[in-house]
Chain A
Amino acid sequence: MSVLVYIENWDGKLKKLSYELASYGAQLAEKLQLPVKAVSLGKADEATLKTLGKYGITEVLSDTNEAYNTLDNSAIAKALFAAAEKTAATIVVMANNNLGKAVSPRLAVKMKAGLVSAVQGLPISTEPFVVKKMVFTSKAFANITIKSANKILTLAPNSFGLKEKNTEAEITAFDTGLSAEDFETTVISTNKVTGKVLLQDAEIVVSGGRGMKAADNWGQLEELAEILGAGTACSRPVSDEGWRPHNEHVGQTGKIIAPNLYFAFGISGAIQHLGGVSSSKVIVAVNKDPEAPIFEAADYGIVGDVFKVLPQFIQAVKELKA
């Protein structure tokens, strides 16, 4: 038996999320007194994968077939299943991101494993196996028991953090046995977001709502995001108006995020919006309406004009960073 962690790579690179997953898998395995291994699919080189050892991974099965870059859901699920069999894994851990959400249910059926998505933290108990997750879009938490022998957990990004364990990771070439016919997704074009911090990866998020008044007014907000190394987000009306792209919409029907710091400029804080951001560790709200519900969710607030506050924030952050 073992705990298996699925480590994705992005053009061969790992991210903080990868090390968070490794940390989580290693801590979980320690709790269960099981070995922890990882599987990597696609072009990640040995030196890169070896860095997982720092967070407790002892062995990485690596299949460097570049066909995985098509992110074919069935093929990746098949490969993960092969890796789970090879490592006799009873628990598989992966990220609750787009790919994790896409392939974990398929793997769950193959393994007949109970699946809990967007898990926050280690299990509350291991016999029975009980994990905690957010439900009703952050309006509540639930404890869920997984009854099956095999289990799959997807970890909510930025919910666990990094835990160093300084082990040595051995990299093993692994043939998942897939053939070209297993890959049925034809990629026509890929549009990668470059030069910006991805919302899902961001530890700080700067977000704007209807109070920003127009698409042209995002300059200062983007400047603040840039000097903070933050991602940018928006509320639903803003993406519906087309002021910002849909992939920046945070809230109940958009993305659910949990950064360390969330700035809400000109966002009133409708219950649907709060659902998407209330797991943020610290929330700062700037709104001209003192009655705006965002102030009930916020830790720090300013009642005032966002266009008067933004330049002061930018100046203060510059001084802080200097």
Chain B
Amino acid sequence: MKILVLIGNVPDTTTKIKFNADNTAMDASGVQWIINPWDELALTRAMELKEANPAAVEKIVVANVGRSETEATLRKALAVGADEAIRIDADPLDAFYVAKQLAAVAADYDLILAGIENADYNGTAVGGMLAEMLNRKSVSAVSGIDLDGDLLIISREIDGGSQQINMSLPLLAVVQKGIAKEPRIPAMRGIMMARKKPLNVIAAVDAEALTAFEHFELPPAKAACKMVDEDQAASLINLLHEEAKVL
């Protein structure tokens, strides 16, 4: 079985976000780029599945849609332990466009893992769109995944609780927190090996974007916090009732 993990290249989660002069794009100067945190957990779980089922899992490939500057992030994924990387050479215009690009390379993989959200534009759609384009089953909000022969034993969060379900391959799983305990940090040996692993650059296919970012703005500045003394805590509850009117 072959596993494909979709990798987003996003600003470090501690980044202070700035925009260009006319607020039409993010100002990328000084930004540290990382593997999208949910994708990193997906990759970690893929590694764990391979280690626990060496006979069943043939290889793990990571894929990204982006320009050459995203290769550092793909190399990091290789250093974590992926066997190969694919970079589709295009600007990730929107989820539909990105899914179209991935659909061109993803059909051969039995299990595709995608993170539930991207930490940049907070899109949640690439995984589900890709599954639909490939006409394969998908399951979302997955917080646990195990192999039992051809069967996948999955825990997922539902609105109002959680569920254990069984699914068969091929499958696309959109994963969230809990899928792996901690993201794996590349070891020195992994970093050395990653340099020799294949990173295939593939030309984009024709596709259109259905949405476009027009304008960004920062949230309005917050008024100063109103402070209350520790031993007058009860008066804060009254403020919430009388002033803020939320109680």
| A and B part of one assembly | yes
Is the CB of A23 closer than 8 A to any CB of chain B?
Answer: no
Is the beta-carbon distance between A190 and B132 smaller than 8 angstroms?
no
Q: Indicate whether A147 sits within 8 Å of B211 (C-beta atoms), given known contacts A140-B216, A301-B225.
A: yes
Q: Contact mask B9-39 → A, CB, 8 Å, 1/0?
A: 0010111110100000010000000000110
Is the beta-carbon distance between A135 and B240 smaller than 8 angstroms?
no
Stretch at the interface among A27-35, A166-174, A207-215, A245-253: A245-253
Is the beta-carbon distance between B226 and A117 smaller than 8 angstroms?
no
Is the beta-carbon distance between A99 and B159 smaller than 8 angstroms?
yes
**In whole angstroms, what is the CA distance A247 to B222 when docked?**
28
List residues of chain A with CB within 8 A of the CB of B131.
Answer: 73-74, 105-106
Is the CB of A1 closer than 8 A to any CB of chain B?
Answer: no
Is the CB of A305 closer than 8 A to any CB of chain B?
Answer: yes
Is the beta-carbon distance between A302 and B213 smaller than 8 angstroms?
no
| Interface size range of chain A in the complex | 35 or more
List residues of chain B with CB within 8 A of the CB of A315.
Answer: 234
Is the CB of A14 closer than 8 A to any CB of chain B?
Answer: no
| Interface size range of chain B in the complex | 35 or more
List residues of chain A with CB within 8 A of the CB of B218.
Answer: 139-141
Main secondary structure of the interface of A (DSSP, over half): mixed
Look across to chain B and name the residue whose beta carbon is closest to the beta carbon of A272.
Answer: B13
> For chain A residues 44-71, which have a beta carbon within 8 Å of chain B?
70-71
Main secondary structure of the interface of B (DSSP, over half): mixed
> For chain B residues 140-180, which have a beta carbon within 8 Å of chain A?
140-141, 143, 153, 156-168, 174, 177-178
Cβ-defined partner of A282 (8 Å) among B120, B213, B216, B246: B246
Is the CB of A102 closer than 8 A to any CB of chain B?
Answer: yes
Q: Indicate whether A104 sits within 8 Å of B244 (C-beta atoms), given known contacts A112-B210, A130-B214, A299-B226.
A: no
Q: Contact mask A261-280 → B, CB, 8 Å, 1/0?
A: 10000000001100100100
Minimum CB–CB distance for A127 against chain B, Å = 14
**A-B residue pairs, 8 tightest by C-beta:** A105-B128, A304-B230, A114-B210, A102-B140, A312-B233, A316-B237, A316-B234, A109-B132
- B interface vs A, CB < 8 Å? 11, 13-17, 19, 26, 37-38, 94-96, 99, 116, 119-129, 131-133, 137-141, 143, 153, 156-168, 174, 177-178, 209-219, 222-223, 225-231, 233-241, 244, 246-247
- A interface vs B, CB < 8 Å? 8, 10, 70-74, 77, 96-99, 101-106, 108-110, 112-118, 130, 133-148, 184-193, 198, 200, 204, 228, 239, 246-247, 249, 252-254, 256, 260-261, 271-272, 275, 278, 281-282, 284-286, 295-305, 308-309, 312-313, 315-317, 319-320
